[in-house]
Amino acid sequence: MYLDKQFSIEEALKEIKSNHTLMVGGFGLVGSPLSIIEHLTRHDISGLTVISNNVGEAGEGLGILLRQGKIKKAIGSYFTSNRDVAKYYNEGKLEIELLPQGTLSEAIRSGGAGIGGFYTKTAVGTDLARGKETKEINGETYLLQEGLKADVAIIKAWKADRLGNLVYYKTARNFNPNMATAANYVIAEVDEVVEVGELAPDEIATPHLFVDAIVKSEWILTKDGVKSIEE
C-alpha cells in the first residue's frame, strides 16, 4: 500500500493561512498553478508574502490576489509584466523586494538545500545591494544573498502519480522544482494523475518526498488566455 496524496483543491488549501509566505511557480502565467490561485481568490486571507517571478499578470493569476489586497509583500524579479505591482508599490499598498532572476532562482534553491546564503557579484554597486553585506574575494566585491524559504509552495506540473512524483512540461517547469524543495508544505497542481509505476523514473523531476498534496487542474492557460477546463 502507498499514501495517496490526491486531494481536492479546497482540502489542500486548508494549509494556507493569513500572513504566510507563499512560493508560487510560474513565468508570467506559464507554469503557474492557476486553479489553486483561483480558489485562493475566494478565501478570507491577507498579509501574504509572495515569492514569485512576476506576481502573475494584471488581473490574472496572482494579479487577482494583488488587486484583492491579499498580498502584503512581493519578492521577485520581473514585475514589469504586471504593472499593478509598480502601481501598488507607489501607492504604499505593497512592499517589494526585487532580485535579479538568477539570484532569485539560486536563493530558492539554496533555501531548499539548507544553505543559509551565497555570495554573488550580480547587483554589486546598484540600488539592489542596499542593506546587504558585501565581501571582497580575490580582489572582487560580492554581496550576500540569503536563501529563501516559505510556509507553503503552490506549484504546477504536467503529470503526477498518486504518490506525488512530478513531471513538468518543457519550459513550464521554470521555478517549480526548486520551490518544491524550499517550503514546509507543497501543493502541486497537475493536469493528469496516473497510477504509481506509470511514470518512467528518468522523467520524474520532483520526487514524491517533496510533495504533500496533489490537486487536479480546473483552469488552464491556452493561446486565447486562461480558460476553465469545462469550456
What secondary structure does DSSP assign to 156-167, as a single string? Answer: EEEEEETT--EE
> For residue 229, is pLDDT > 80?
no
> What integer is the mean pLDDT of 192-201?
96
Instruction: Write down the domain spans for the chain.
Output: 9-117+147-228
Q: What pLDDT score was predicted for residue 221? A: 76
Q: What pLDDT score was predicted for residue 59? A: 92
Pick 108 or 229 by higher pLDDT: 108
Cα atoms in the 13 Å half-sphere on the side-chain side of 87: 12
| pLDDT digits 0-9 by tens, 17-43 | 999 999 999 998 999 999 999 999 999
- Residue pair 24/196 in contact (Cβ under 8 Å)? The answer is no
- Residue pair 62/34 in contact (Cβ under 8 Å)? The answer is no
How far apart CA 189 and CA 221 sit, in angstroms, is: 13
| pLDDT digits 0-9 by tens, 48-99 | 999 999 999 999 999 999 999 999 999 999 998 899 999 999 999 999 999 9
> For residue 1, is pLDDT > 60?
no
> What integer is the mean pLDDT of 182-195?
97
> For residue 2, is pLDDT > 60?
yes
What's the chain's average pLDDT? Answer: 95
How many C-beta neighbours within 10 Å does residue 186 have? 27
Pick 140 or 3 by higher pLDDT: 140
Please provide the CATH number assigned to the domain covering 9-117+147-228: 3.40.1080.10
Q: What pLDDT score was predicted for residue 227? A: 72
| Secondary structure (DSSP) of 192-206 | EEE-TT-S-GGG-SB
How far apart CA 207 and CA 19 sit, in angstroms, is: 28
